[in-house]
Amino acid sequence: MASKRYRQGIFKPKNLKKFIGTKAVYRSGLELKFFRFCDDNPNILQWSSENVVVPYVSPLDKRVHRYFVDNYIMIKEGNKVKRYLVEIKPYNQTKPPKTKYRKKQHLLYEQRQWAVNTSKWDSARKFAKKQGWEFIIITEKDLK
């Protein structure tokens, strides 16, 4: 059952020619805001949701897993066209967890998540670079 704390659903793009894929599932209000930005921005030429898959090795079990990157975008920047893999995260999840005033169980969970996320992001950076793209992480600070 989905948590009621998070905004989740299926986004219906208005500009269907720009959207790549069959559906855009958002898992947070931040993702929904980004989807709207992509759909409405005339400089975004193409975008997709979770259809670029990057293999990564989890530091927890040393096995290869599949990372479904949140978004792919093709954007016109001046007279150039650039491509990005985009991860949408709350700002506090883009920094290592702080140990001060944390319950041990919660801190361990955050440390495991941080280890997995950094492994995913390192793999996504390498994957994007091979494609001539760039990997970026967007937070609520970027979506104002």
Q: Annotated active-site positions, please? A: 31, 70, 89
Q: For residue 22, give every residue at least 6 positions away whose Cβ sits within 8 Å of its Cβ, in sequence order, or none.
A: none
Tell me, yes or no, whether 32 lies in a domain.
no
Q: What is the distance between the alpha carbons of residues 7 and 32, in angstroms, rounded to a whole number? A: 8
Tell me, yes or no, whether 3 lies in a domain.
no
Query: What's the domain range around 112?
Result: 43-138
Q: For residue 2, what pLDDT is reported? A: 46
Q: How many domains does the chain have?
A: 1
Q: For residue 3, what pLDDT is reported? A: 46
pLDDT tens readout for residues 106-122: 788 889 999 999 999 99
Residue 93 has pLDDT above 80, yes or no: yes
What is the average pLDDT across 45-69? 97
Tell me, yes or no, whether 123 lies in a domain.
yes
Tell me, yes or no, whether 35 lies in a domain.
no
Q: Which of 88, 105, 106, 113 is nearest to 31 (CA)?
A: 88
Q: Which of 56, 50, 48 is nearest to 69 (CA)?
A: 50
Tell me, yes or no, whether 10 lies in a domain.
no
**What pTM was estimated for this model as a whole?**
0.90
Please give the C-alpha separations between residue 13 and each of 68, 115, 136, in angstroms, as whole numbers: 20, 34, 22
